[in-house]
Chain A
Amino acid sequence: MNFDNWLLVFILLSSFVTGLIIFFLKEEAHRLRTLLNLFGALLKVVLVGVMIVGVQADHVYESRLELLPGLDLVLRADAMSVLFATLSSVLWLVTTLYAVGYLEGEPHRSRFFGFFSICVSATTGVALAGNLMTFLIFYELLTLSTYPLVVHRGTEKSLQAGRTYLIYTLSGGALLLLGTVWLHTLAGPVEFSLGGALAQVATQHRSELIAIFALLITGLGVKAALFPLHGWLPQAMVAPAPVSALLHAVAVVKAGAFGIVRVVYDLFGVHTAEALGVLAPLAGIAAFTIVYGSVRALFQDDLKRRLAFSTVSQVSYIALGTALFGYLSTIGGLTHLVHQGIMKITLFFCAGIFAHTLGVHKVSEMAGLGLRMPWSMAAFTIAALGMIGVPPFAGFVSKWYIGMGAVGSGSYWAVAILAASSALNAAYFLPILHAAWFKKRVDPWPADHAHGVGEGHWMLLAPPLITAALVVAAGVLANAPFSPLEWARHITEIEYGK
């Protein structure tokens, strides 16, 4: 047995098996479940670490299983998949910690953590998928495994949100399937490869390929919340905070954005996509979504809803960076894949703490939060400033590179879009920060579970502090080896064949 062939399978199984075992645990087996959860998450991080080191040393990790004749299930580790796999496994670890603290004493925890683990396995599968078919399978698995998480509370509102979620994502999946099958008939089994795989096909089947691209991007655009396919995302925020964190930063939205990146760079190839002329419309839609999401976020009083619209906007930075044809914007887009994740997860963690500990759900109830919970609010502040793009936090780094890419390709309008979005981000984040830090609290907290003093539970507090530290580190040490920026540069060099 060759370890290199099995590593990727182990990475998948580390969370999948954990999830299956957790289903069969009794509801009261709190310790065992937590232990299993953390063990699975840690094991995954370690295995992904092994994979990173291996990929750096030019090891080839590949696992192959024949589904049908001529159609393989392929797992492969390349620079791009490592980026996403690392993000999701590290964030899953902190989210697990957070979820354990958050759901303390609530019913159906075995169900929750079971699906939680499966959801992450699916995400890792999406990251490691070596061809479109494999990608699709894990992508659909992700949809199905997140549904129980969205409707976890079982209220009318969450069921409604779950329905919307399914409608959107399954229709998106159907389009994706259609595109995949069409492409298969056209070009046979096509595997992802850095630099693209369809350059030859493009010369003969130009219009078909354009149609396929449209189908694939529309299908992926649902999860990536591109306008006007974003409707499910603000609704899904009725789910518990750890699920929101998962949806927005680790798994679902990211899987969509990652899919777009994969399709553009590793399926079509950025040069082919540019030659087909499909990048400019994608850039246009992304740019519109960026502004639209920000404008909508401005008018939300519900904190999580505001954050949800902010995600709509910020995830499109990734699509914009991808679609602006240029070396530097690619770096920016890929970096933002990671940076948006760590910033948004911090914000949702904090929103969860505010709701869980003090019953604060609305922006208008946040006055004086900074004095009550200085650490949580500090984490929130760092992430919010990062979202605006204030240097030296993570968001600035990716924005800078997308901006450079825009200038480099002569798309000055995209710089204007970035500036407008930053202004809007400032308009909906800075008042929150002002109220939380500098306004005097007059009314009592809506529901104070901590009896008048202090922060939330340490299991709730530690995760946002860790991710906020990452937000700072990713910006301040942007040039250090192993920073997301460096890794994105590495990938981009391969994609553009430098």
Chain B
Amino acid sequence: MNFPDFSAALLLGAIALPLLLAAGMARRGWRSCLLMLAPWAALPALVVVFVVPQGTAAYFPWLFFGSHLGFDQTGYIFLLFTSTLWLLSGLFAQTYLADDTKLSRFFAFYLLAMAGNFGLILAQDLVTFYVFFSLMSFSSYVLVIHNGETESLRAGRIYLCLVVLGELMLFAAMVTMATNANSVLLRDAIAVPMNDVTLALLLFGFGIKAGALPLHIWLPLAHPAAPVPASAVLSGAMIKAGLLGWIRFLPLGLEAFPQWGALVMGAGLAAAFFGALVGVTQTNPKTVLAYSSISQMGLITIAVGGVLTVPSLWPTLIMAILIYALHHALAKGALFLGVGVASHTASRTQRLWLLVGMLVPALALIGAPFTSGAIAKTALKTDLTSLPTPWADVLQIALPLAAVGTSLLMARFLWLLWSKPAALGHSRAGLWITWSLLLVAVALIAWILPIANGSAQDAVKFDKIWAGLWPLAVGILMASVALVRSDRGGGIRYPEIPAGDWLALFTWAAPYTARMGRTLASDTLTDLWNTTTASMFQALRRPAPDQSWSRMEDCLKNWSVAGMTLLCISVILYLLTSAW
């Protein structure tokens, strides 16, 4: 076998191996063996990162509508952090969920979602991307509802509704792109001028996955509901699939869409602050992290909006986006896994060590000097300053303020973790080892990555160190004031914002709107109204009264009516068609 063939086989193998292991789980006798192997299914993908040369492409003519896989620079970075995270989270889960009765189910769907995540990174055509995107989205539903509690089921339901909504938007967008380009290849599809509707569908469809405002509502519910290792991949890796969708499908760098660009930048900026503000009011550390993801993805969204406004920024901004995605994925993964470690700490010393360890990803997220965050933020800021006014000036002020918000979020998170000790359980070495490995990755990877070289050199300059330091200092100061005041009993009163923010407004309003509808409408409409609202937002499966419909059906069963209808239909058809 010569080398290009080997590379192509490796691309397919990286996707196929987790799929095969998941299929093998169907057999009871194989399960215990497969459970040992499951996390290692991510290894071929990691091998791809280091072995397969960039620019490799593979074509599988029988698969789907002819499937194109390929490995490029974007794929390189995405696969690097994605496979690392899936591997380490998987190993973490082996220990963390060792006593769980539903371990096989968890890993079966963990593997399916993993295959989907790898597949969509390697996909070079619309259909292959869509297939793996769906595989990942639907499989992770099972991870969200894993513990089976009422809250998780609700989170899962809302998650699933938004997944379906996203799928439909993407279906419409992709069908349009494929038809207009007369090709399913991504590079052909984005070369054709894009209309506004398609662009909007892509922005919203992928925005759901990326947690973009205002479609983020599922995220603070679903990410915390899943078991810790699943939250880590959800918030670290899978959320980036939405970003990758934007990168692959939007005509970035090819066409300018100033209005859309402004809208996207606005949404990103809003998310950066909204995530931080709502996040600090949360009482569950995992929900705080979920809101932090919304905030961080907001910053990347600003960059995407920037390219939509000024296409010429694309070659440099894509680097910044890639570095930022990598940095956030690993840091957020480490934070989530840390929550899992915290629930298994056995002594105060261990808790202190935990806190010290947590500082690594927390500081990185804030963008403190000498962290991966400092490199990522330096890259992002440098490129965004060349945006037209007023954006450059606004961002000049807004980005450091967002960093202050992040430091408050992190302070809140660490405080919650420290002050609310989970029942001190057994310490498990496996958790500490995998978590520490991830911490090492967070601390080092951005410094050794070739594409981040320039930004890394930039980031250690004095003014950049200062730029990273002062938001952190302000954040610490504000957090300390809050801490001291709450120690004196005069704690800050937060407004209680439930996770999922504006969704709560809707659930609160649903009975009222239904009542309003009842008074306004006739019986038929009321039934329809009730069933629609009930079915969409509360219990998707409650059977509802539908007498009016049945009456119509009964009527249609009647012999004379049937005959008459037939006759009428043909007459109407005739009239219609001759009038056409």
Contact = CB atoms under 8 A, between A and B. Distances in A.
Contact of A278 (B160, B531, B577): B577
A328 B179 CA distance: 9
B64 A171 contact: no
Given A172-B566, A277-B580, 5 more contacts: A231-B553, A374-B26, A400-B175, A407-B176, A430-B160
Given A167-B562, A407-B179, A438 B148 contact: yes
A430 B540 contact: yes
B66 A281 contact: no
B411 to A, nearest CB: 38
A401 to B, nearest CB: 9
Nearest to B146: A438
A475 B531 CA distance: 34
Contacts of A397: 65
Interface in A209-251: 210-211, 213-215, 217-218, 221-222, 228-229, 231, 234-235
B127 interface: yes
Contact of A299 (B134, B169, B180, B546): B546
Contacts of A432: 541
Interface in A378-413: 385, 389-392, 397, 399-400, 403-404, 406-408, 412
Contacts of B148: 438
A392 B131 contact: yes
B176 A415 contact: yes
Contacts of A478: 64-65
Contacts of A217: 573
Interface in B2-45: 26
Interface in B541-580: 541, 543-544, 546, 549, 553, 556-557, 559, 562-563, 565-566, 569-570, 573-574, 576-578, 580
Nearest to A416: B172
Contacts of A164: 557, 562
A326 to B, nearest CB: 9
A479 B549 CA distance: 42
Given A403-B171, A477-B62, A281 B580 contact: yes
A141 B88 CA distance: 65
Contacts of A296: 549
Contact of B171 (A363, A385, A389, A408): A389
Contact of B179 (A211, A300, A404, A479): A404
Nearest to B102: A438
Question: Interface residue tally of chain A, by bracket?
Answer: 35 or more
B541 A281 contact: no
Contacts of B513: none
A175 B531 contact: no
Given A222-B566, A228-B569, A391-B130, A210 B574 contact: yes
Interface string B98-126: 00000000000000000000000000000
Which of B138, B169, B171 has most A Cβ within 10 Å?
B171
A228 B565 contact: yes
A480 interface: yes
B63 A427 contact: no
Contact of A235 (B63, B179, B557): B557
B168 interface: yes
A330 to B, nearest CB: 14
Contacts of A385: 138
Interface string B175-188: 11011100000000
A408 B175 CA distance: 10
B168 A422 contact: yes
B171 A419 contact: yes
Contacts of A406: 175
B56 interface: no
A298 interface: yes
Contacts of A416: 172
Interface string B252-275: 000000000000000000000000
A391 B127 contact: yes
Contact of A213 (B63, B160, B178, B577): B577
B573 A214 contact: yes
Nearest to A378: B26
A446 B580 CA distance: 55
A171 B577 contact: no
A321 to B, nearest CB: 13
B543 A419 contact: no
Given A222-B566, A400-B127, A476-B63, A408 B573 contact: no
A246 B171 CA distance: 32
Interface string A412-440: 10011011001100110011100100100
Contacts of A214: 570, 573-574, 577
A168 to B, nearest CB: 6
B458 interface: no
A267 to B, nearest CB: 15
